[in-house]
Amino acid sequence: MIPPNIRPSKPRPERINMHIQILRNVLCFVVCLAAFNCCQPAVSYAAETPPNFIVFLADDQGWGDLGCYGHPVLKTPHIDKFARQGMRFTQCYAGSAFCSPSRSAILTGRTPYRNGVFTWLPERDRVHLRSSEITIAKLLKQRGYATCHVGKWHLNGFFNSPQQPQPNDHGYDHWFATQNNAAPNHKNPVNFVRNGQPVGKLEGFSSILVAEEAIRWLRGQRDKSKPFFMTVWTHEPHLPIESDPKFMALYEGDDDLKQHHGNVSQLDHAFGMLMRELDEQQLADNTFVIYTSDNGPEGRLDDNGYPIGRNKRTRGSTGGLRGRKRDMYEGGIRVPGIVRWPGHVKAGTESDQPIIGSDVFTTICEIMKIPLPADRTIDGASMLPAFAQKPITREIPLYWRCYIAKGPITAMRIGDWKILSDEALTTFEMYNIKDDPREQHDLATSHPQKFREMRERFRKLNAEIEAEGPDWWKGYRRPGRRKRPTAKP
């Protein structure tokens, strides 16, 4: 009971207003905090949960050499499934029209004539990926990544020798590789080296052996407390081709066609093995994987699609594009390109944004918030905008050069326009790739203003590249070959 001389006091209006205001402020703070958290990325890659990275590279696989790129016969169920899980690029380019240069562009983000690896490298060649080049493997290792390379290396002439840098000198903890091709062919190769030690004859087929090595490293040899970076570079379907009969049995036709097509299915199987291992180790959701090739398909074909020359196993497809390996036309440089990164790349999507091998370096750097090296030119651009269906910002045009090309030996692309030239930059062709992907209609004469713009930019870019890179290309001759004369300026 309340004593008669005490009565409850009435609340003062100013106190009520103050309490209401406090409640409003608290509620506003809670709402803002929730909104802020919702707007933040799910992870901070550089600090909390860094993604793993796999760069899977086929050898001499053409733009049309997969079921998901329209091949009517090839059976590639694992890569086709992978494409459905990620983004398929319809205008993906290799860094060059042949092997070693394309590999150097992937690791350094630099066009091959800048980084020095301008040609394919036979044994005992002085050309190599110099230790002064900064590879993405080296950058990631400095940030705590476990690193591994399995498969073809082809970035030095003195392989497994102190005379030139080896994979471990470029940032790899573990490597299992050959200098160039699997020898004597893809079956039972004898020339693999593991961390500097030759392993002797192996039983099996090259891409399967490479995938098995990658899986062993993932299971028991890597430091599982670290994220990982892995390059998986198969020999298939490069010559000399030898395929497991079980994959050849998937196809009808002559034995040489079965060998080639079976080789692609063999490669597909190896890729599927590795992707299945990511699933089993619950790594797939936090692993960025890109699948691509180093150049277009080997060999020349007649009008009926039959190989011209001694080797009849060169049955790769450009998907109808002009040219093949070693050509500056689209068939020599446009290749498959598929990216899967769950939570960041929408499954089952497609992009027509042009990308190139050197973009891998820049993309990984952006994901990891690694500043690009400031003491050299980086040609690659980040692919991240394309993952969101936005245009890629490219400061340096796409550029290719292959001194042994038949026809034009160098090319540049800006937007939809592509210009090609001889070595002296005096004879040109120009195409609108969007309207004319097969490069049938030379527009250099009919579009004089655009041609002049492209020609001047082309000459300027070419001069910049030549000035920055080593001059190994001048008067170059491969070991045992006659000196090749340089073009007149």
pLDDT of residue 21: 57
What is the set of domains in the chain, with CATH numbers?
52-393 (3.40.720.10), 407-468 (3.30.1120.10)
Amino acid letter for position 202: L
pLDDT of residue 301: 79
Spans of the chain below 70 pLDDT: 1-48, 480-489
pLDDT of residue 307: 81
pLDDT of residue 474: 92
pLDDT of residue 123: 96
N-to-C CA span, the chain:
110
- Tens-digit pLDDT profile for residues 300-348: 878 777 788 778 999 999 999 999 999 999 999 999 999 999 999 999 9
pLDDT of residue 17: 53
pLDDT of residue 37: 42
Beta pairing partners, 340: 289
Q: Is 325 helix (H, G, I), strand (E, B) or coil?
A: coil
- Tens-digit pLDDT profile for residues 390-443: 999 999 999 999 999 999 999 999 999 999 999 999 999 999 999 999 999 999
pLDDT of residue 20: 47
